[in-house]
Amino acid sequence: MKQFYDKLVKTRHYLHQHPELSGQEYETTAFLKRYLQDLGIKILDTGLETGLIAEIGQGKPVIALRADIDALPILEQTGLPYASQNPGVMHACGHDFHQASLLGAAELLKAMEEDLQGTVRLIFQPAEETSQGASQVLATGLLDDVVAIIGFHNMPQLKAGQIALKAGAMMAGVEKFKVTVEGVSSHAARPDLGVDTVLTLISMIQNLQALVSRTVSPFEPVVLSVTHIEAGATWNVLPQNGFFEGTIRCFNPELQKRLKADFIRIVEHTAENFGAKVSIVWDQTPPVTYNDLELAELIFENSQNIGELLPAQPSSAGEDFAFYQEKIPGVFAFIGSNGAADAPDLHHDSMMIDDTAFQVSVPYYVENALFLLKHYKK
């Protein structure tokens, strides 16, 4: 197997050198197509501009394996001999490792295609970082017959050889909001002749702080952060317009819906109290990455011999794999990729991956794909 893993390392290093941003993964997609076609693997017609779906085997059941392929707008500072050759773009989230792992799994599954008890669909997904890609893949209709889907994210805090997994919430549901207020401008000496945009904004932000502290159980991990405020251009004029933006994060899908509704109510009522107009824009962001309870237990048990299995600590980051889990029973794991005490985290300009992690990531895909085919064949 040394030759096999050496090939994967070389492949990842190539992908790391040639990162592309979300929705711009044209060369990456072309590389993946050539790689899979050289293995004799069927590429499906998706209509996607970037990313691809391939499959191995035939018939039912159909299970899916997913890897994301996009990079981040970060200037790499690792000093690696295979550092990014695309200045200002870097695989700082390890998606080069994810897609190379799925390529390795594809090669092994193709070699046993005649013995597969169904179909394995391979999803090389674009635009995870912008939370657009999973929805684009679902829109193709090529997952309509999928009975289960699995994926993973590398985790620098875990050592190569470790897998972290649990049923239920693995990563936070994310809401990104921008609240724009329109008041009535006036001289600062005559605020009675205007509608104070600044005061309205500040009051909204203060009122929203009670949303978590006074309406959510202290045993529920929830964050509401306002991170950007803008209003006015000078010292003696009440501005007509202003805005603030930020995020809400939690691990309870029902609570996420309720918080969003309460947020809207508080903002609108505060604007009404001051006589201001308000609009709220919500970006497309992922819901809670929530592992199917029954399927997670099965995958946890089946992964015992793949690596050192640990109970996962949920991450407050978001992951658009969650969009698949809204439609299909799914399991998402964390796979160790560094483990050093000072290992840079995801999205860091010096983030690095221990290539020995392939010895867990590839079997995670392969062994669980085989297991799920047998499980759903019953």
Q: Which of 330, 333, 336 minimizes the C-alpha distance to 308? A: 336
Tens of pLDDT, residue by residue over 42-55, are 999 999 999 999 99
**153 labeled part of a ligand binding site:** yes
Residues 180 and 151 in one domain: no
pLDDT at 377: 85
Q: How far apart are CA 129 and CA 321, in angstroms?
A: 11
Residues 242 and 297 in one domain: no
Residues 186 and 100 in one domain: no
- 318 close to 152: Cβ distance less than 8 angstroms: no
3-state secondary structure 114-170: HHCCCEEEEEEECCCCCCCHHHHHHHCCCCCCEEEEEEEEEEEEEECCEEEECCEEE
**187 labeled part of a ligand binding site:** no
Q: State how many domains the chain has.
A: 2
pLDDT at 330: 98
Structure tokens at 171: 């990563």
Residues 33 and 22 in one domain: yes
pLDDT at 1: 85
State pTM to two decimals. Answer: 0.94
The boundaries of the domain holding residue 135 are: 1-171+288-377
Residue after which a domain boundary falls, among 230, 257, 283: 283
- 122 close to 59: Cβ distance less than 8 angstroms: no
Residues 251 and 152 in one domain: no
> Is the pLDDT at 378 greater than 80, yes or no?
no
**16 labeled part of a ligand binding site:** no
Three-class DSSP category at 102:
helix
Residues 185 and 131 in one domain: no
- 32 close to 52: Cβ distance less than 8 angstroms: yes
Tens of pLDDT, residue by residue over 1-19, are 899 999 999 999 999 999 9
Beta strands in the chain (DSSP E): 42-43, 52-57, 62-68, 119-125, 146-159, 162-165, 168-171, 173-182, 186-187, 222-231, 237-238, 241-250, 277-282, 289-291, 308-311, 330-338
Q: How far apart are CA 351 and CA 247, in angstroms?
A: 25
Report residue 81's pLDDT band, with 50, 70 and 90 as the boundaries. very high
Tens of pLDDT, residue by residue over 286-300, are 999 999 999 999 999
Residue after which a domain boundary falls, among 242, 266, 283: 283
Q: How many CB atoms lie within 10 A of CB 210?
A: 11
**326 labeled part of a ligand binding site:** no
Residues 129 and 270 in one domain: no
**250 labeled part of a ligand binding site:** no
Give every strand in the sheet of 308-311, ordered side by side. Answer: 42-43, 52-57, 119-125, 62-68, 146-159, 330-338, 162-165, 308-311
Residues 6+ apart with CB under 8 A from 112: none
Residues 24 and 161 in one domain: yes
CATH value at residue 306? 3.40.630.10
- Mean of pLDDT values over 189-199: 97
Residues 137 and 34 in one domain: yes
Tens of pLDDT, residue by residue over 133-174, are 999 999 999 999 999 999 999 999 999 999 999 999 999 999
Total residue count of the chain as it appears in this document: 378
Percent of the chain with pLDDT over 70: 100
- Side chain identity at residue 324, one-letter code: Y
Residues 182 and 133 in one domain: no
Residues 29 and 146 in one domain: yes
CATH value at residue 195? 3.30.70.360
pLDDT at 252: 95
